[in-house]
Structure 1
Amino acid sequence: MKLAIIGLGNMGKAILNGILKQKLIKPENIIAADKKFADPDFENTDEYASVTVTADNCLAAQEADYIILAVKPQIINLVLEDIKKVAAAKVVISIAAGVKTELLAKYFGSRAKIVRVMPNTPALVAAGMSAIYYSPAVEADEKAFVDQIFNSLGKTVKVKESEMDAVTGLSGSGPAFVYIFIEALSDAGVLKGLDRKKALKLAAQTVKGGAEMVLSSGKHPAELKDMVCSPAGTTITGVATLEEQGFRSSVVQAVKTAAERSEELGK
Structure 2
Amino acid sequence: MNLAIIGFGNMGKAILSGILEKDVIKAEKIIVADKKVSDPNFELEARFSKTKVVADNLQAVAKADLIILAVKPQIIRKVLEEIKNDSKDKIIVSVAAGIKKSLFSQYFGEKAKIVRVMPNTPALVASGMSAIYYSKTVKPHEKDFIEKVFGALGETVEISEDKMDAVTGLSGSGPAFVYLFIEALADAGVLKGLDRKTALKLAAQTVKGGAEMVLKSAKHPAELKDMVASPAGTTITGLAELEANSFRSTVIKAVKAAAERSEELGN
The TM-score, its normalising length taken from structure 1, stands at 0.99
Within 2, Cα distance between the matches of 1:5 and 1:40?
Answer: 21
1:126 aligns with 126
Q: After superposition, give the CA deviation of every residue in 1:17-46 in whole Å (9 maximum; x if it has no partner).
A: 000001111111100001213445422122
Please give the alpha-carbon distance, in whole angstroms, between the structure 2 residues aligned to 1:40 and 1:248: 48
Residue of structure 1 in register with 2:50 after alignment: 50
The residue matched to 2:104 in structure 1 has which SS?
A: helix
Partner amino acid, structure 1, of 2:77: N
Q: 2:100 is matched with which residue?
A: 100
- The amino acid of 1:255's aligned partner reads V
What is the CA–CA distance in structure 1 between the aligned matches of 2:63 and 2:39, rounded to whole Å? 20
Q: CA deviation at 1:221?
A: 0.3
Q: Which residue of structure 1 lines up, in the alignment, with residue 250 of structure 2?
A: 250
Matched AA of 1:177: F
- Secondary structure (helix, strand or coil) at the match of 1:63 reads coil
Helix, strand or coil: the match of 2:5? Answer: strand
Cα distance in structure 2, aligned partners of 1:256 and 1:45 = 37
| Range with bigger deviation, 65-74 or 39-48 | 39-48
Cα distance in 2, alignment partners of residues 186 and 52 from structure 1: 42
- The aligned amino acid for 1:169 is G
- 1:165-207, Cα deviation, whole Å (9 max, x unpaired): 0000000000000000000000000000000000000000000
For the 8 Å contact 1:229–1:235, the answer to whether it is kept is: yes
> Contact 1:101 / 1:114 at 8 angstroms: preserved in 2?
yes
CA distance, structure 1, for counterparts of residue 3 and residue 148 of structure 2: 13
Structure 2: which amino acid aligns with 1:238? Answer: G
Report matched runs for 1:131-150 at 5 Å: 131-150=131-150
The C-alpha deviation readout for 1:64-123, integer Å capped at 9, x for no partner, is: 000000000000000000110011100000000000000011000000000000000000
Distance 1:127 1:255 in 2: 20
Which residue of structure 1 lines up, in the alignment, with residue 212 of structure 2? 212
C-alpha contact (below 8 Å) 1:32/1:54 kept by paired residues = yes
Name stretches of at least 5 consecutive residues in structure 1 with no aligned partner.
Answer: none
Extract structure 1 runs of 4+ deviating beyond 6 A.
none
Q: SS of the residue aligned with 1:136?
A: coil
CA contact (8 A) 1:115 1:132 kept: yes
Aligned partners of 2:197, 2:152: CA distance in 1, in Å?
A: 31
1:155 to 1:137, Cα distance in 2 relative to 1, 3 A: same
Q: Once structures 1 and 2 are overlaid, which stretch shifts more, 188-197 or 34-43?
A: 34-43
| Separation in structure 2 between the aligned mates of residue 39 and residue 139 of structure 1, nearest angstrom | 39
Aligned to 1:71: 71
Distance 1:76 1:68 in 2: 12
Aligned pair count reads 267
Aligned identity (percent) is 69
- Point out the more displaced range, 57-66 or 87-96: 57-66
Q: Which amino acid aligns with 1:89?
A: D
Aligned letter for 1:225?
A: K
Cα deviation digits, residues 193-231 of structure 1 (max 9, x gap): 000000000000000000000000010000000000100
Cα 1:67–1:95, aligned 2, differ >3 Å: closer, same or farther? same
For residues 256-267 of structure 1, what are the structure 2 equivalents within 5 Å? 256-267=256-267
